[in-house]
């Protein structure tokens, strides 16, 4: 298969497997989504969802969160990776949202990426899932899968994101990135599939005999 043919097969099969794409992180507002995505760095969505209900009891909006001490936030999110840094970012970005954005999460990549603890991937998730703006958030897992499936030869997530955006129409980006995540978690995991075992890897590369070594993000 050529790359475009692989992309068409991937999109068609993912639509069959995952016709609906619920957002994995529990949230009610753009602000709670922003915080949940920030917390998900180097941590599973399941772990994030286990601590956010208690965090929302403390505060679920920028005004309230800016009044909560960093130590109180840390006490709640301590089970998560990088908790001290995340607690500081949550309090600081809440203050910035009040001072610079009228207490609202900005609907702009540039403004989001200027917030503490918010990188391009986090901003992309918020833009896609909170505001419906076409985006293709690429984390290390999507980067690895896209390489395994021959959709990119990107050496980093930035190049992989650009390649995926060229391959797929923008009106499917928001759904497709979630579909890839769902399939990866169930079937094409870092340890469970080496590029030769799952349905996608076997179908797209039937002649591949050795484990595929992906470039690190």
Which positions are catalytic? Answer: 121, 139
Contacts 24+ apart (CB under 8 A), 57-60: 59/94, 60/28, 60/29, 60/31, 60/32
Which of helix, strand or coil describes residue 3?
A: helix
Cα–Cα distance, 126 to 105 (Å, whole number): 9
CA angle 109–176–27, rounded 5-degree value: 60
Per-residue b or e along 180-198, where b marks 16 or more CB atoms closer than 10 Å to that residue's CB: bbbbbeebbeeeebbbeeb
Q: What are 4's two structure tokens? A: 């475009």
Question: DSSP letters of 95-143?
Answer: HHHHHHHTTS--S-HHHHHTSTT--HHHHHHHHHHHH--------HHHH
């Amino acid at each position: 298969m050529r790359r475009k043919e692989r992309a068409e097969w991937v999109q068609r099969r993912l639509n069959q497997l995952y016709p609906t794409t619920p957002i994995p992180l529990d949230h009610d507002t753009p602000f709670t989504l922003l915080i949940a995505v920030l917390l998900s760095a180097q941590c599973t969505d399941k772990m994030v969802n286990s601590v956010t209900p208690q965090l929302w009891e403390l505060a679920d909006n920028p005004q309230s969160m800016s009044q909560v001490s960093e130590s109180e936030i840390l006490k709640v999110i301590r089970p998560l990776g990088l908790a001290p840094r995340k607690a500081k970012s949550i309090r600081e970005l809440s203050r910035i949202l009040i001072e610079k954005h009228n207490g609202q999460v900005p609907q702009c990549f540039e403004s989001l990426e200027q917030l503490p603890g918010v990188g391009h991937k986090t901003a992309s998730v918020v833009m896609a899932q909170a505001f419906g703006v076409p985006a293709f958030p690429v984390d290390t897992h999507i980067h690895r899968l896209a390489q395994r499936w021959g959709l990119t030869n990107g050496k980093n997530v930035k190049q992989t994101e650009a390649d995926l955006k060229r391959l797929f129409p923008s009106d499917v980006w928001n759904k497709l990135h979630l579909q890839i995540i769902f399939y990866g978690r169930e079937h094409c995991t870092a340890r469970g599939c080496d590029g030769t075992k799952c349905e996608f890897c076997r179908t797209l590369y039937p002649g591949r005999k050795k484990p595929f070594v992906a470039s690190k993000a």
